[in-house]
Structure 1
Amino acid sequence: MIAAWVNSEPTESVSVTNRGLNFADGHFTTMLVEQGQIASWPLHQQRLRRGCHLLKMAEPCWDSLWHTLQQALTRCDAQGLGVIKVVLTRGGQGRGYGGEYLAQPEVLVSVHLYPNHYLAWQQQGIALELATTPIATLGCGFGIKSLARTEQVLLRFELDASAADDLIVCNTDGEIIEACAANLFFWQGDTLVTPALCRSGVSGVMRQRVLGTAAQLGIDVQVRSISTFQLHQFDGAFVCNGLMKLVPVVKLEHRTLAISDLFRQLQHSLL
């Protein structure tokens, strides 16, 4: 971490009573910084608004948050890439699980180095394997980037013990949902197929942009339930999130996959 602010004040610590720390009572978004600008800020703000609504938190003071983000940008490489994370936790004290309804949130902003290996991944591609750790179906944090990330932590341990670059994650009903920290897309000929995130997972900022750009390029898109038994039907795949953008998959379990011209066209449109 390069720098951090809590409620617009420079600091690297939070109170031991912070409800995000004690109960994972909050949510977050992680944003790419390119050449001194936050990428896709309106979509990130939309995500934060939705998280506040679902968790029954008041929205932050957007003017104050924007001022802090401008300070954070000064700590990023003005000509390169960086990462800014915004965490909102429920304000007020409460007692035990009982929190203050629509309390003004605590706002945590932090600046981090960009994971440079993503740049190599974008060109060379990655290998995926099926995870054995499932994620919940219709969990309470479904659809938002809640602070309850136990499943993702366990998945990361599983990934670290494997030879793969990332994992294909299913929910408890056996539906393919996502990668460890990214959304999944598959190619079936010239058709783009992505899991329907109706009961598990999070529709990331880059996933939304991919769906919109694919439509503009005239690419046929199917959003539907996908099982592991259907993986053999796909002849291409990629993962995406707001930091890595689009990364092709060159190995899916034991199969080698080609990087198509159509993928490169889509990738170029979103760089």
Structure 2
Amino acid sequence: MVTTPRIWLDGVAATALPLPDRGLDFGDGLFETLLLKQGEPLLVDYHWQRLEAGLLTLQFPDNTLKHARQCLSLACDALHELPWAALRLTITRGTAPRGYAPPAQAAPRVVISAAPLQQDRREPGSPAKVGWADIRWSAQPLLAGLKHANRLEQVLAAGEAQRRGLDEVVVLDQKGDVSSVSAGNLFIVEGDRLRTPALETCGVAGTRRRFVMERLAPALALHCEETHLSPADLERADEIFYCNSLRGLQSVGELGGRAFTHFPVCEALHQRYWELITC
């Protein structure tokens, strides 16, 4: 059984990345983080669709997505014995002459890394302790929604949470509206309604965010809307949760000075999530 991280470069097992590479030089690329159950990537179509949109925006060659699919299939074949695994698929524009300008004939690289996850992902975690971040996301509408390789802001936000002994931090945009947590999308519960921040100028269009909006909310007769949320909206919410591909749905037990003690909607969403995602 695989017990250590595995790495593939363009579908071949590897231990090093050829240099130079524009992904390392400029963050010129995209990535997806997938949850695998016995080698099967969950919600993989959602990942491919987001990746395709990003490749189009960044003007990668037309055959890049097909190549990435082939590489992922090869990696997953080697991971079927693992109950759970975390897999990162990164696409860079590859090598090029010096300078920011992309090469006229790019040769993208697909780098995949995977590692086993010990905990059964279906087990709900303890409610998270969350605070307000000092950092704010930069505004760039062209890149809003994409999971591009420039993650320095997220590194700073996650470091802030770590230093403060928090599980996560809520990050605002440049206008002071709520955007997300450092590594996931955010929802608030108001009665039978779910509300999540719109992604107009920043943030990632998460696969689990989309799943909540398209599948989970309707399954539980909950109305869901994308909107502008203020910090005050979170402070008076009935419940708060955030989501990402590895964690699934995570309820918030504390935000700033407020404690949340009842999670009926979050618990129902968590149960239904795993019923739908693994069927």
TM-score by length of 1: 0.91
* Number of residue pairs the alignment of both structures matches: 270
Q: Distance in 2 between matches of 1:55 and 1:135?
A: 20
Residues 1:33 and 2:8 are matched in the alignment: no
Residues 1:109 and 2:99 are matched in the alignment: no
Partner of 1:93: 96
Q: Distance in 2 between matches of 1:18 and 1:79?
A: 31
Residues 1:163 and 2:165 are matched in the alignment: yes
The Cα shift of 1:141 comes to 3.3
SS at match of 1:270: helix
Partner of 1:69: 72
* Letter paired with 1:200: C
The Cα shift of 1:263 comes to 2.1
* Letter paired with 1:142: A
Q: Closer, same or farther in 2 for the Cα pair 1:79/1:7, shift >3 Å?
A: closer
Q: Distance in 2 between matches of 1:252 and 1:84?
A: 30
Q: Distance in 2 between matches of 1:63 and 1:138?
A: 28
Alignment of 1:151-230 (within 5 A): 151-212=153-214, 213-230=216-233
Q: Distance in 1 between matches of 2:105 and 2:258?
A: 50
Q: Closer, same or farther in 2 for the Cα pair 1:239/1:115, shift >3 Å?
A: farther
Q: Distance in 2 between matches of 1:157 and 1:231?
A: 22
- Cα deviation per residue 1:135-156 (whole Å; 9 max; x = unaligned)? 1122653221111111011112
Q: Distance in 2 between matches of 1:52 and 1:2?
A: 26
* Letter paired with 1:194: T
- Cα deviation per residue 1:169-228 (whole Å; 9 max; x = unaligned)? 111211111011010011112211111111110110000000012023210223110111
The Cα shift of 1:107 comes to 1.0
Partner of 1:136: 138
Q: Distance in 2 between matches of 1:265 and 1:95?
A: 53
Q: Closer, same or farther in 2 for the Cα pair 1:269/1:101, shift >3 Å?
A: farther
* Letter paired with 1:19: R
The Cα shift of 1:25 comes to 0.7
Give the one of 149, 152, 163 matched to 1:150: 152
| Preserved CA contact (<8 Å) 2:82 2:116 | no
* Letter paired with 1:232: E
Q: Distance in 1 between matches of 2:27 and 2:232?
A: 35
Q: Distance in 1 between matches of 2:20 and 2:94?
A: 10
Q: Distance in 2 between matches of 1:86 and 1:25?
A: 14
Q: Distance in 2 between matches of 1:40 and 1:4?
A: 22
Partner of 1:3: 6
The Cα shift of 1:134 comes to 0.8
The Cα shift of 1:160 comes to 1.0
Q: Distance in 2 between matches of 1:153 and 1:65?
A: 26
Mean CA deviation greater in 164-173 or 63-72: 63-72
What's the C-alpha RMSD, in Å, of the aligned pairs?
Answer: 2.1
Residues 1:234 and 2:246 are matched in the alignment: no
Q: Closer, same or farther in 2 for the Cα pair 1:103/1:18, shift >3 Å?
A: same
* Letter paired with 1:18: D
Q: Closer, same or farther in 2 for the Cα pair 1:51/1:115, shift >3 Å?
A: farther
SS at match of 2:147: coil
Give the one of 53, 56, 60 matched to 1:53: 56
- List runs of 5+ in structure 2 lacking aligned partners: 275-279
| Preserved CA contact (<8 Å) 1:3 1:75 | no
Mean CA deviation greater in 248-257 or 222-231: 222-231
| Preserved CA contact (<8 Å) 1:59 1:104 | no
SS at match of 1:127: strand
Q: Distance in 1 between matches of 2:76 and 2:262?
A: 35
Q: Distance in 2 between matches of 1:169 and 1:261?
A: 25
The Cα shift of 1:92 comes to 4.8
Q: Distance in 1 between matches of 2:102 and 2:66?
A: 25
The Cα shift of 1:3 comes to 1.2
